[in-house]
Amino acid sequence: MIPSSYPSPEEIARLSARMLLEIGAVNFRPEEPYILASGLPSPTYIDCRKLISFPRIRATLMDFLTVTVMRNAGFEAFDNIAGGETAGIPFAALVAERMALPMTYVRKKAKGYGRNARIEGVMGEGDRVLLVEDLTTDGGSKLSFVDAIRETGATCAHTAVIFYYGIFPETIKTLGDHGVSLHHLCTWWDVLDAARESGAFSDSTLAEVQAFLEAPRPWQEARRKA
């Protein structure tokens, strides 16, 4: 069911950040940085997959994501909702249910047997597809999914995520150069504000996280060389 009313984008960002903290999806560890998929260190790590186990928060954030997309892109802007393998699949299904639209998902690579397909489900030529994922960092990982969608003859000009890092300036340009607009609920800056309000982290931890958010590449390079 499509929500009929919703708060402002600022309130959505504030509440979304609070909910991610509440379920333990947010992790700060500056003294022993996490190693990201890129191989680079980070004092922050977020696991949006945890949302699937918290039905009240999950439902609220999916309402937020649905109305954010409709407000930004249009109420009749899509014909199909696609999830990126694997984290995007449950969220795409939940958004598709709210928008009463078909749902598909996109594999990271072809299976290598059978139909050798990257798209699972029914996606038609000319379909206007919304790509749903859990999060985005620099936007690069979305491009392969978008290309796979476009290879079917469908179009994909929008991607929606729960969490956008919001600290790498190239993200919007990377997606924009590929003809894709990004829609999101909250960023690390919103989470940092919520973390300060929660009182659950030490001042030194929050200061180190802020230093990373203000200059992520230098922070990573300094610690990779150490």
pLDDT at 39 over 90: no
Query: If DSSP codes are grouped into helix, strand and coil, which group holds residue 186?
Result: strand
> Which positions ≥6 away from 49 have C-beta within 8 Å?
87, 134
DSSP string, 140-164: HHHHHHHHHHHTTT-EEEEEEEEEE
Helix (H, G, I), strand (E, B) or coil at 166: coil
Both ends of the chain: CA-CA distance in Å? 52
Main-chain dihedrals φ then ψ at residue 178, nearest 5 degrees:
-95, 5
- Taking the C-alpha atoms of residue 43 and residue 24, their distance in angstroms, rounded to an integer, is 15
Burial of residue 1 (CB within 10 Å: 0-12, 13-18, 19+) is: exposed
pLDDT tens by residue, 170-182: 999 999 999 999 9
Nearby residues of 89 by Cβ (< 8 Å), 6 or more positions away? 83, 105
124-169 per-position pLDDT tens digit? 999 999 999 999 988 888 999 999 999 999 999 999 999 999 999 8
Name the fold adopted by 9-220.
Answer: Rossmann fold (3.40.50)
Q: With bands split at pLDDT 50, 70 and 90, how would you rate the model's confidence at 2?
A: low
pTM, entire model: 0.94
| DSSP structural state of residue 4 | S
Give me 215's structure tokens: 């200059």
User: CA dihedral in degrees (2, 50, 57, 209; nearest 10)?
Assistant: -110
